[in-house]
Amino acid sequence: MKMMKRILVVNVNWVGDVIFSSPVFKALKEAYPQARISCLAVPRVQEVLESIPGIDEIILYDEEGGHKNPFVKLRFIYELKKRRFDAAFLLHRSLTRALLVFCAGIPQRIGYDTKRRGVFLTRRIPPATDAIHRCDYYLNVVRSFGIPVKDGTTSLNVTADAQTQVKDILLSHDVKEDDLLVVIHPGGNWNLKRWPKDNFILLAQRLSEDFQAQVVISGALQDVPLVEEIASQLKCRVIVLAGKINLKQLIALMRRADLVISADSGPLHIASSVGSDVIGIFGPTRPEVTGPRGKGRAFISFRDVGCNRKPCYYLQCPDNVCMQSVTVKDVLDVVRQIRNP
């Protein structure tokens, strides 16, 4: 392999997918230990990028905000050009990202030949099948350049400050170090992937009663109304942290958790990537495509309901039968399997 000093990775836009990209940085750092590896991405994934090993620099690109202005975009391209990158690996499939690195004069530009952008790439990868796992989809970009991949698992760093902050938060709720801590995450970035809230209510109650678990409900700011509705209908004590902690604290919380239960979501993949046991409740998405790939043990609750939409992006689905078919008993049976192997 040719020696490289400066490498740019053009990343994707969502937390879960960014986590799936983490093995790319591991492979690049092992292949080019002296290289400075920069990552270009949108601002909303900055905190998770700061927790991925192997990234030396984050370059924020806000195409819908600050970089929307053509003159600002030209200045951004000029700044990229001044950095004299040896190669750009495009995990993002957009035409505009390929045009960006082309205009920046980066000599090696590697990515999938999608959206007619092949003319801007020096190494074109044929479009992959939708059945491939997202981790492998991103890893194929570096593999195509001859870079070996020794470890395809996702990983995130946990900061000492965040660990201390989460420990203090839990202590303030009378959670002890040896308590069984279960985090449930009822939210999701689209409704089709969400398990019914009544199921989470019953699940939290049973976790508290049957396992004497300390139950934490996590979520983003937009999940707060849903989480508060769940908490208000519980007869057991739960700790509501939805909207109250930042992403790095969430990563530390997931590391502390003995078990995390969630639908296919960014927090599920965060938990798996820091080595915690997870139960993923899957319906419209396919676990073989977006299932957890971290070092933590992963258990999937999924029922084949005979629907041919796999994965499914039919957001107007009238009954969401695939998610409703996974019962609370199904999930509790997995919890018992984990707690009493």
Residue 46 maps to which CATH number? 3.40.50.2000
Q: Are residues 189 and 134 part of one domain?
A: no
Per-residue model confidence (pLDDT) at position 334: 97
> Which of 83, 117, 143 is the endpoint of a domain?
143
Q: Are residues 280 and 196 part of one domain?
A: yes
**How many Å apart are CA 223 and CA 232, to the nearest integer?**
14
Query: Is 220 a domain residue?
Result: yes
Per-residue model confidence (pLDDT) at position 177: 93
Q: What HEC string does 82-98 produce?
A: HCCCCEEEECCCCHHHH
Place of tokens 């004497």: 212
> What angle, rounded to 10 degrees, do the helices at 266-273 and 247-256 form?
60
Q: Are residues 328 and 205 part of one domain?
A: yes
Query: Is 148 a domain residue?
Result: no
303-324 pLDDT, tens per residue?
A: 877 776 566 666 667 777 888 8
Question: How many domains is the chain partitioned into structurally?
Answer: 2
Q: Are residues 242 and 118 part of one domain?
A: no
Q: Are residues 133 and 18 part of one domain?
A: yes
> 63 or 165: which carries more pLDDT confidence?
165
**How many Å apart are CA 48 and CA 286, to the nearest integer?**
23
Pick from 132, 125, 96, 90: nearest CA to 109: 90
Cβ atoms of residues 5 and 34 within 8 Å? yes
Taking the model in full, what pTM does it have? 0.94
Query: Is 150 a domain residue?
Result: no
258-294 pLDDT, tens per residue?
A: 999 999 999 999 999 999 999 999 988 889 999 999 9
As a whole number, mean pLDDT of residues 58-68 equals 86
CA angle 178, 180, 183 (to 5 degrees): 130
Query: Is 46 a domain residue?
Result: yes
Q: Are residues 292 and 164 part of one domain?
A: yes
Query: Is 296 a domain residue?
Result: yes
Residues 6 or more apart in contact with residue 284 via CB below 8 angstroms: 192, 193, 309, 311, 312, 313, 314, 317, 320, 322, 323
Query: Is 153 a domain residue?
Result: no
Per-residue model confidence (pLDDT) at position 68: 77
Query: Is 155 a domain residue?
Result: no
Per-residue model confidence (pLDDT) at position 1: 61
Q: Are residues 41 and 12 part of one domain?
A: yes
Range of the structural domain that residue 113 is part of: 6-143
